[in-house]
Structure formats: structure tokens, C-alpha cells
Amino acid sequence: MNKNNNEMLKTAQDLIKKTGQKLNLNQEEINSLIQPDRVIEVKISVEMDNGKLKTFIGFRSQHNNVLGPYKGGIRFHPEVSREEVIALSILMTLKCAANHLPFGGGKGGVIVSPKELSEKELEKLSRGYAKAITPFIGEDIDIPAPDVNTDSKIMSWMLDEYEKTVGKKSPATFTGKPIEFGGSLGRNEATGRGGVIVMENLIKSLSKDYKTIAVQGFGNVGYYFAKIAFEKKYKIVAISDSKGGIYNENGLNPNEVLKIKKETDKVTDFKKGKIISNEKLLELPVDILVPAALENVINIENVNKIQAKVIIEMANSPITEEAYPVLEKKGIVIAPDIIANAGGVIVSYFEWLQNKSNEKWSEDKINQKLEEQLQKAFKEAFKTSLEFQTNLKEAAFISALLKLKENSSPSFLL
């Protein structure tokens, strides 16, 4: 069993306990919230290219559906475990609630190293997993989406298998699909775009004129965050990927950096900047620091060296629990992941709505609605943080738990 996954589950449960106590929830209510409604474990047998059968194990955790159907991604990774999917499904419940989405929390995964599979094997595994969870999902029951190592193509295989099995069209059962299978415009950029919206709301609420940004991670989230912030005239002074970073105090153009990244797979091959390490990037004297790669990158070892004035948590949990209070004491304000990186699930909700109503929305409409939705979530967290005299992360959890409580009648236990 993976130790990190157990820790992740404990952290998610501790967050609920801590927030629940602040709201005077009783022990039974807290216990009930910590437990997922159901965890499905499935066996998938795949005929490999060499003709031999191989068995894979997959999970789907359905944590809570008080606010609507379970919603959450499916990841393919060798370290997937029961504990991990439960922890992530708990966080999805809170993320959906904090962002006013009519969804509950779910998460799925298969224990596999997808890079070791051929395309044909990957398709068989995706279809096998979809078939195995078919009795438990549906457009008003549980709506999966892509996550680590799964993408729109995998969603189209899974949807096709699901529809074949149930014998009817049901595109709203999966989100994150290719456009031609009912996917939504704006989905690719949504998480990065949402992060910039939250950043601008935070800066405004602090009445500051922050401009310089360092972005760690240059994948889907980091690139679109940098691109959209650059278009809005912020100065991106540092960018990195897993192989290192570049720094230019006069600013970098993310589109030019992407061109090089596509050619050589390394942002450090971009010549208009000084090469820096990922550790140094986090310690730069910038206004805004954007960790958009991995969890726990700001921790007790480096927290005293962080000089940014605000941090936008684009990766999930980029700051450890021990580092959080140290940053707060230093006066650094943090936009929490549960709101900052919610753009993806919000546009997934728009995709689901479009599928259910057989509509196709323009990209402008999607971007405008994304902005409205995130603004509302941010303002609510900000107000709650003042009311409860706490940071924005705890405030977002409080808002989420209050919504769950209001909608559970007459108590969580029913």
C-alpha cells in the first residue's frame, strides 16, 4: 500500500474534521462526511498484443451526492489505490460545493503504467474499465472525466463502450470529450483561465497592483495560465518544466517558450533567459508565484525562502500543511487550489449542460460564464474568511461544508 496515498486520505479527512469542528458539527455528522457512499473495485482482463491475458484492478469512489450526481476524473497510474481515489473523491465533493456546482464528488482510477501499453491495449483497458463501472454511472448518477494520464480520446472510447452496453446515446455521462463527440469549447484552457480569473479577483480584493509572475510547470495548466496572464499584460519572469526553468526579469513570452518546448521538450533551451533550477524559481522575489506542477513543492524545507506576495495554487496541494501557517505568518496570501484550479470542472459542468440540452455554446459564452462562476466562489470564500477570521483555504472548505449541511435534510446521517 502506498504511504503517500494513505497520508493523502488522512489529510483530506483531517481537513473535514477541522472544518467540521469549526462549524460545530457533531461527531456523527463528521464521521458520515468522511466516509464515501460507495467504493467500487473492479477487475479488468485485457488480451495483450502477445495474446496473453493480463488482469488490472480499477476503482471508482463515490463520496457524496447530496448536491447532485458524483463527478470526478479517472486516472491511470501505477500508484492508484483505494485510499487515493477515496481522498480525491472527498476533495471533489468539496470543490464542487465551493464552486456552486450541482455535483457531488467522485474519482476513479486503474493501477497501470499506461506508457507500457500499446494504443490497442490502452483502448481495450479503457473500454474494459468503462464496461465494469457501467452499472454504477450515468448522466444523472456519476459523471467521469479525464485526470492523470487519461485524455479526451480515452473519454470517447469509454463513452462508446458505455453507450453500447446500455443501448442508448448518453453523451452527458462523460465530460472532457473531443468536440466531435460532444466536448465543449474552452475546456483545454479552462483550468489556466480560471486561475487567472481567481488571481485577478484576489489582487483586486487586496487593492494591490501586482504584476510579476513565476510559473512552475509548463503543461496544460501552467502554459494556459502564463499565456492568458501575458495577454492581460502581466509580466511572466520565470517558467519551468521538470527539467529546469528560465528567468528573465524583463519578461518572457509564453508562446515563444512553448515553440521551443515543442521542438526540444525543454523550456531551458529557450535562449532569451537565464537558466534556473525549479527550487530557485519558487524562491524568486516575484509578486505572484504559481505552482502548477506537483503537490508539496512548498514545504518546511523551503518555506522560509519564499518571497512572493501571493501564491495561486494551480497544482493540487502544492503547499504542505506545515508550510501553510509559516506563509501566513509571513503575510503571503494564498488562493486555494479548491477554487484556483476549479476552471476545469466548471467547464465540464458546462459541457454536461450542453449535452443535456443539445446545445453548443460559443467560447465567449463559456468564458464569460466561467468568470461569473469563479467570481462568485471567490467572493464567497473571501467573505467567509473575514467572518471566520481564517485563511481562504479554510474559508472555501467552510463554504463547501455549509452547503452540504444546508442540503442534507434533516442531518448528514440521512
Active site residues: 107
Alpha-carbon distance of 396 to 194, in angstroms, equals 16
For residue 93, state whether it binds ligand NAD (rule: CB under 6 A): no
Among 306, 314, 323, 381, binds ligand NAD (CB under 6 A): 314
Q: Based on the shown chain and the rule CB under 6 A, indicate whether residue 385 belongs to the binding site for ligand NAD.
A: no
Min dist CB 288 to ligand NAD, Å, is 16
Q: Which of 2, 27, 242, 302 contacts ligand NAD by CB under 6 A?
A: 242
Residue nearest to ligand NAD (CB): 219
Vertex 319: Cα angle to 29 and 38 (nearest 5)? 35
Separation CA 213–CA 312 (nearest Å)? 10
Q: Does 316 bind ligand NAD (CB under 6 A)?
A: yes
Choose the stretch contacting ligand NAD; rule: CB under 6 A; options: 21-29, 48-56, 119-127, 290-298: 290-298
175 binds ligand NAD (CB under 6 A): no
* CB within 8 Å of 156: residues ≥ 6 apart: 177, 178, 181
Q: Return the range that interacts with ligand NAD (CB under 6 A); candidates 1-9, 35-43, 237-245, 368-376.
A: 237-245
> Taking CB under 6 A as the criterion, which residues in 260-289 touch ligand NAD?
278
Residue 306: phi and psi, rounded to 5, are -75, 130
- 221 binding ligand NAD? (CB under 6 A): yes
By CB under 6 A, tell whether 31 contacts ligand NAD.
Answer: no
Using CB under 6 A as the binding rule, whether residue 220 contacts ligand NAD is answered as yes
Residue 207, classified by CB atoms within 10 Å of its CB into exposed (0-12), middle (13-18) or buried (19+), is exposed
Give Cβ neighbours of residue 202 (< 8 Å, ≥ 6 apart).
310, 312, 333, 335, 378
- Strands of the 235-241 sheet, one edge to the other: 274-276, 244-247, 235-241, 212-216, 288-291, 310-312, 333-335
Is residue 217 a contact point for ligand NAD (CB under 6 A)? yes
Q: How far apart are CA 315 and CA 282, in angstroms?
A: 14
Interaction between residue 188 and ligand NAD (CB under 6 A): no
Contact flag: residue 201 with ligand NAD (CB under 6 A): no
Q: Coil, helix or strand for 80? A: coil
* 377 binds ligand NAD, rule: CB under 6 A: no
Contact flag: residue 219 with ligand NAD (CB under 6 A): yes
Cβ 165 to ligand NAD, closest distance in Å? 27
How many Å apart are CA 355 and CA 386, to the nearest integer?
39
Q: Which is nearer to ligand NAD, 108 or 222 (CB)?
A: 222
Strand pairing report for 244-247 and 235-241: antiparallel
Q: Least distance (Å) from ligand NAD to the CB of residue 107?
A: 12
Told to check if 315 binds ligand NAD by CB under 6 A, we report yes
What are the residues whose beta carbons fall under 8 Å from the beta carbon of 142, sequence distance 6 or more? 60, 62, 69, 70, 71, 106, 136
Which of 41, 28, 94 lies closest to 63, judged by CA?
94
| Residues of the shown chain interacting with ligand NAD in the complex, contacts defined by CB under 6 A | 191, 216-222, 240-242, 278, 292-294, 314-316, 341, 344
